Chain A
């Protein structure tokens, strides 16, 4: 069984990772590169606002220095990846593809373990079921964590990294367990526990800062967050179905 688990997951994860990288280059990468220019100060939000005399009421007063202009990207304990030894774009984007494939291979291994676990109780994951399992994986690993920790552009100050990562992991585990209980729980108690697990991370709340000091324009950040979640949704649903196809086989599709 283990060979089939590994091979199914690696195939599906590889395909999903390639799709993720493709969508990321199509939708997200430009935003990341642009945000890094704000992060390093090469671009400043509001600095390019039209000169006075413009009759737009909403135009910010150019005489007032934008708060963003004063905010230094300090506090960052590292350089943006672009700055690391002037890495070539080829290397940078190659690494992005590599790590997208790795990440989704990891997710696929977790998902195939879940398929196999369900199989222990005689539940076969058809291709259509796979779409739903992929959706659940998206909810657990992207949507629920994003409710507290939105996908961020470079240059966005945020709370302590360890605290955020712990909340992220706890949320992913609680959401996956909660959805599992909701889907497969046989008693009212089990379903209630599932709902409780889904809600718990958000009752606790994600670690956050007191104020807002991001240097990137809000339009850019919200576009990035929306697109990141959209990409995640596509890739997870695709992966769930492909994995079901490899794991369960064609006959049951």
Chain B
């Protein structure tokens, strides 16, 4: 099964899935690291500083 997945030729559905997963990841990073919501900011505060996100 793995071999199948890995040798799959470039396919439109494959690319769609890749873009979809990348967008989920970017959304999570944005929410955790950059979103302005006060609650999110306070909760993520120490992590944002340590990970070098622009904060404050």
- Cα–Cα distance between A76 and B55 once the two chains are bound (Å): 11
B52 x A109 contact (CB < 8 A): no
Closest chain A CB from B56 CB (angstroms): 6
- Cα–Cα distance between A29 and B45 once the two chains are bound (Å): 11
Which A residues lie within 8 Å of B10 (CB)? 120-121
Which B residues lie within 8 Å of A1 (CB)? 5, 8, 14, 17
- Looking at chain B's contact residues, the main secondary structure is helix
Which A residues lie within 8 Å of B29 (CB)? 103, 106-107, 110
- Cα–Cα distance between A21 and B32 once the two chains are bound (Å): 14
**The one of B14, B52, B54 that contacts A158, using a Cβ cutoff of 8 Å:** B54
**Interface 1/0s, chain B 30-56, versus A by CB < 8 A?**
111110101001111111111111111
Chain B interface residue number, banded: 35 or more
Closest chain A CB from B9 CB (angstroms): 8
Which B residues lie within 8 Å of A121 (CB)? 10
Which B residues lie within 8 Å of A106 (CB)? 24-30, 32
A5 x B17 contact (CB < 8 A): yes
**The one of A24, A78, A169, A224 that contacts B34, using a Cβ cutoff of 8 Å:** A169
Known A9-B21, A100-B51, A106-B27; 16 more pairs at CB < 8 Å: A4-B5, A5-B17, A20-B51, A28-B46, A78-B41, A99-B32, A102-B32, A105-B28, A106-B30, A107-B25, A110-B22, A111-B25, A113-B25, A149-B52, A154-B56, A229-B52
A-B pairs, top 3 by smallest CB distance, nearest first, are A109-B25, A106-B28, A81-B45
A to B CB contacts below 8 Å, 12 in the list: A5-B21, A9-B21, A24-B46, A78-B38, A113-B22, A116-B17, A120-B10, A145-B52, A146-B52, A152-B55, A154-B49, A248-B6
Interface positions of A (Cβ within 8 A of B): 1-2, 4-6, 9, 20-21, 24, 28-29, 32, 76, 78, 80-81, 84, 92-93, 95-96, 98-100, 102-103, 105-114, 116-117, 119-122, 124, 142, 145-146, 149-154, 156, 158, 161, 164-165, 168-169, 224, 228-229, 231-232, 248-249
